[in-house]
Amino acid sequence: MSEEECGCRGGEERAHGFLAWSAYRAYNELLREKIKKRFEAEEGPWMDQVAEQLVQLVNARWEGGRKGEVQERAILAKLDELWSQ
């Protein structure tokens, strides 16, 4: 980290600048965690459904062939339905 990034110049000011930078970073990390918890609470079940369909889509593509294409179309239709909710 450069002196400009931490807002410090030298000596005691350097220590204060680093501590202020650390506090700012901790604040942002905490805010990020709170946002993630909020999304999990409100959107988690929907995101679980989307994740399940995406895993099935990847598996269908790995299977390949005609059966994989039919499954892929069905999964994509389910994803379209989830996106429209």
Q: What are the average pLDDT values for consecutive 10-residue runs of the chain, which has 85 residues?
A: 54 76 95 96 94 91 77 89 89
| Cα 85 from Cα 80, distance rounded (Å) | 9
d(CA 51, CA 69): 19
Q: Which two tokens stand for residue 26?
A: 């901790």
Tracing tokens 């400009």 back to the chain, one arrives at 4
pTM of the model: 0.57
Query: Domain spans of the chain?
Result: 3-83
Instruction: Identify the pLDDT of residue 72.
Output: 87
CA distance 16 to 26: 15
